[in-house]
């Protein structure tokens, strides 16, 4: 469930982050993986999408953070018909629990090792 | 690198989130694991700490989100002497790249499966 599998290249703040933390339920995982990747592909085509980062550990806890230009764009994606169907699937089968937090990114800083170093 | 390994139980917004996304460098990982757990233990004792969630996938990408009552508390932790030393270790050895985003959580909602269901 990643779009490239690395750090998102976001612009200078302010912008919005949707922090989606989830605990997977016991499941065969095949349908989940297909739908999760489809949601990344579909969401990233929405106007205002800035990037996505995703990680899931061996304990089943996953964190996906998607970044958005403004609230209107993240709300449009939330209400996407296919995304709403996936959200129902999440509640009915794939997750034991999840939390969604909508946050405004106020500042950001980072580090990247010199490739020549 | 988790404090319980589950979803954080945060209060009603507003509160702050520090989204720390990192790409691990090749490393034996032993010192890293000890320091990472120590940082969780130490940070969670700071006034204003509300919770932490952490996941790292097989591709080396990790996301840790810590939650804070206000900016003063997250800044106090950022400037902790032992934490600053760990941040240097991160740049010198443990990470190829990371990004820190400080965000204000404006709303939150979640789902938890009925344990009796």
Pairing outcome for strands B15-24 and B61-68: antiparallel
- Chain B: give the shortest CA distance to residue A109, in Å: 5
**For A53, which of B17, B63, B113 is closest by C-beta distance?**
B63
**Which of A19, A62, A113 comes nearest B17 by C-beta?**
A19
CA closest to B9 among chain A residues: A99
Residue for token digits 């996304």?
B21
Tell if the CB–CB gap between A56 and B55 is shorter than 8 Å.
yes
* Average pLDDT, integer, range A6-30: 91
Q: How many Å separate Cα B8 from the centre of its chain? A: 11
Q: pTM of the entire structure?
A: 0.93
Residue B78 structure tokens: 């950022």
d(CA A1, CA A53): 9
Please state, as a whole number, how many other Cβ atoms lie within 10 Å of the Cβ of residue B9.
10
Q: Show Cβ contacts of residue B72 under 8 Å, excluding neighbours closer than 6 positions.
A: B48
- Across the interface, of A19, A91, A100, the residue whose CB is closest to B65 is A19
- Give the tokens for residue B11: 């209060």
Hunting for tokens 């997250």 — which residue is that?
Answer: B74
Sign of the torsion angle spanned by Cα atoms B40, B83, A54, B58: negative
DSSP per-residue string spanning B70-99:
SHHHHHHHHT-HHHHHHHHHIIIIIEEEEE
- Segment among A31-35, B37-41, B72-76 with least mean pLDDT: A31-35
Straight-line distance from the first to the last Cα atom of chain A, in angstroms, rounded to the nearest whole number: 31
pLDDT single digits (tens) B3-20: 456 899 999 999 999 999
The confidence band for A114, taking pLDDT boundaries of 50, 70 and 90, is confident
pLDDT at residue B115 in the model: 63
Q: Which of B98, B106, B111 sits opposite A91 (nearest CB)?
A: B111
Q: Is A111 on the interface with B (CB under 8 A)?
A: yes
A100 in contact with B at a CB cutoff of 8 Å? yes
The four Cα atoms B82, B86, B91, B95 give a dihedral, to 10 degrees, of: -160
Contacts of B66 in chain A (CB under 8 A): none
User: Which residues neighbour A14 within 8 Å (Cβ) at sequence distance 6 or greater?
Assistant: A104, A105, A106
CB A113 within 8 A of CB B25: yes
Burial class (CB in 10 A: 0-12, 13-18, 19+), B53: buried
Predicted confidence band at B26 (pLDDT cuts at 50, 70, 90)?
A: confident
Q: Contacts of residue A5 in chain B, CB cutoff 8 Å?
A: 59, 61
ipTM above 0.85, yes or no: yes
Residues of A within 8 A of B2 (CB-CB) are: 57, 59, 61
| pLDDT digit string, tens, across residues A41-94 | 999 999 999 999 999 998 889 999 999 999 999 999 999 999 999 999 999 999
Helix axes A81-89, A30-43, angle to 10 degrees: 150
Q: Is the pLDDT of residue B82 over 70?
A: yes
């Amino acid at each position: 469930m990643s779009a490239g599998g690395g750090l998102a290249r976001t612009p200078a703040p302010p912008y919005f982050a949707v922090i989606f933390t989830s605990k997977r339920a016991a499941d065969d995982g095949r349908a989940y993986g297909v739908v999760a990747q489809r949601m990344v592909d579909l969401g990233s085509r929405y106007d205002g999408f800035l990037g996505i980062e995703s990680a899931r550990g061996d304990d089943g806890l996953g964190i996906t953070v998607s970044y958005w230009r403004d609230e209107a764009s993240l709300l449009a994606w939330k209400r996407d018909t296919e995304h709403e169907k996936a959200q129902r699937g999440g509640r009915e089968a794939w997750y034991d629990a999840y939390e969604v937090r909508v946050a405004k990114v106020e500042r950001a800083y980072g580090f990247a090792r010199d490739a020549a170093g």
